[in-house]
Amino acid sequence: MKFELQYKRYSESAILIEWPSEVNEDILNDLLSYKKYLEKNGTKLIVEIVPAYNSLLICYKITIEDVYSEISTLKSNYFTDFEQVDTKKRRWEIPVCYDTALAPDLETFSSKKSLTVDEVISLHSTPIYTIYFIGFLPGFLYLGGLHKKLHLSRKETPSLKVKKGSVAIGGNQTGIYPSDSPGGWHVIGMCPLDFFDPTLEKPCVFEPGDFIKFRPIDNLEYNAISSKVTQNKYQLQPVVL
Amino acid sequence: MMGKVTIVKPGFFATVQDKGRFGFSKYGVPRSGAMDQFSFAMANLLLDNEENDACIEFAFQGLVLKFSEDTLIIITGAYVTIFLNGIKQEMYRRIKILKNDVLEFNYDKKGMYTYIGIKGGFLTPVVLNSRSFYTSITSDSVLKKGAELPYMKNESTNDQFSSISKPLLLDNSNSIEVYTGPEYSLLSQEQKSTLLSLDFTISNTISRMAIQLEEKLSNNLPSMLTSPVLPGTIQLTPSGNLIILMRDCQTTGGYPRVLQVSEISMNTIAQKKVGEKIQFKLLGE
């Protein structure tokens, strides 16, 4: 399936390509397939391609001399019959402890949504979420698929420090803080895993297009996984679908 | 043989920077790198260094350094008076350093970021292809008291002092070159003309991540999906604030991107202080 794309010069050395302004998996798959094709077959002057929901930012090593001719190359690349990436998907199971001792906002969040804590946990841990892209902080996954009943606008005053591992909800999105950071989302759980390791060549194991599912764990298991992670003994393996 | 620079006093926001961290934006890693890439490049050029050799970047004054071995250094960027063991030295000129020398600075009220280049560069750890400091990437996010930065000892007695006259180097211009951003076309004629004619003031909300401007622009643009951003992207927030993203900015953002600062003007704007005025000059389509 091909979309009507918009091509815009972004800076001296970057071109932005935009898909229709929607969050959906057809767009995601097309965008990732095109990205993969460009990484393999595009000009060697492309140093990096940054994806988001409905856009790719193509970054070049040097100033683009002729933007129009570069855009027409990109357009013809898009209309080549490139391979689709949506065939082999991976699903990661992410352990989350929804204990109120670790989740400072879980109770207030539940009462604001007129749900019990157990209902919130179930609504949050049942869906399969899609990873759309990584942004905001190193290793922060933008996920699609949060249940409508859990949408809640961000806090009016952001917290100065949201702890690393916090599983949180902001607006219609849910995510996991990969490091300590200020943030305005409601923290409803805690994940013991590392989402970003700068000492690795591939610092984040997750990729756009992967799926994740949250698995509720108790305090005991949280501590057990936590200490394994600290000792580098915890291996997270995806299920290949 | 390795020498080390000890941070005797950390001063204000001193970090190690190189050209930046490229190729990891897809993991959400900021590019970082020297705020004023021109002054940074000049430091390495005047020392005959490699172009990506790491320098110390710092703002204003208070930084005191002690060297354990001989080397050559150079100071570029925001104007400072340099004292080597209490004796005045010049900017943009190679300075011979001997074992146990102490270096101090007085800020000269012009510009924001000063660079200390050293022969062969500061050899702090390379993380994801760069030595540039950034929280959660490098172990330090700023230089702390007592920190030790390794460098290669260099005994050359350098009499061929290369130097450049200062006034050529820090761009005094208030004119900032910009391209239209992806959401520029959504602005009304009135918003566009305000954006391109008003004198904007640098507010006191400035950091390596972003510079906020004091004047607001009325904003009735629809909300948009989070999309990639780059250093130099000027965002318009729902409350009408204009935010210029700088080197340590996030990789994606959800505010309309109205303008994009040219790579050269990024260096000019990095050196602007609180209260200084700028105007945007649109470059040809």
Q: Please write the tens of the pLDDT for every residue from B123-166.
A: 999 999 999 999 989 999 999 999 999 999 998 766 565 666 65
What does the block give as tokens for A55?
A: 């856009």
Q: Which of residues 186-205 of A touch B (CB under 8 A)?
A: 196, 198-199, 203-204
A110 band by pLDDT with thresholds 50, 70 and 90: very high
Q: Is pLDDT above 80 for A105?
A: yes
Chain A residues touching residue B138 (CB < 8 angstroms): 198
Q: CA separation (Å) from A27 to A2, A3, A53, A72?
A: 9, 8, 8, 21
Closest residue on chain A to B137 (Cα): A198
End-to-end CA distance of chain A: 22
In sequence order, what E strands does B121-181 have? 148-152, 175-180
Q: Is pLDDT above 60 for A23?
A: yes
DSSP state of B267: H
Question: What HEC string does A124-171 produce?
Answer: HHCCCEEEEEECCCCCCEEEECCCHHHCECCCCCCEEEECCCEEEEEE
Note whether B217 and B195 are within 8 A (CB): yes
pLDDT at residue number B221: 87
Using the Cβ of A53 and the Cβ atoms of chain B, whether some distance falls under 8 Å is answered with: yes
pLDDT at residue number B171: 74
Question: Full-prediction pTM beyond 0.90?
Answer: yes
Using the Cβ of A182 and the Cβ atoms of chain B, whether some distance falls under 8 Å is answered with: no
Do B252 and A135 count as a contact with CB atoms less than 8 A apart? Answer: yes
What does the block give as tokens for B169?
A: 């180097």
What does the block give as tokens for A66?
A: 């002729």
User: Who's near B270: CB < 8 A, 6+ residues apart?
Assistant: B35, B36, B112, B113, B246, B247
pLDDT at residue number A159: 86
User: Who's near B187: CB < 8 A, 6+ residues apart?
Assistant: B195, B221, B258
Q: Minimum mean pLDDT among A113-127, A151-165, B84-98, B185-199: which range? A: A151-165
Q: CA separation (Å) from B64 to B4, B7, B83, B146?
A: 14, 6, 10, 11
Distance (Å, whole) CA B196 – CA B176: 10
User: Who's near A8: CB < 8 A, 6+ residues apart?
Assistant: A15, A16, A17, A18, B182
Distance from CA of B227 to the nearest CA of A (A): 5
A157 band by pLDDT with thresholds 50, 70 and 90: confident
Note whether B142 and B25 are within 8 A (CB): no
The residue with tokens 């040219």 is B262
pLDDT tens for each residue of B243-277: 999 999 999 998 999 999 999 999 999 999 999 99
pLDDT at residue number A241: 82
Do A50 and B25 count as a contact with CB atoms less than 8 A apart? Answer: yes
User: Which burial class, exposed, middle or buried, applies to A194 when counting CB atoms under 10 A from its CB (0-12, 13-18, 19+)?
Assistant: buried
User: Which burial class, exposed, middle or buried, applies to B193 when counting CB atoms under 10 A from its CB (0-12, 13-18, 19+)?
Assistant: exposed
ipTM entry: 0.92
Segment B96-113 shows an average pLDDT of 95
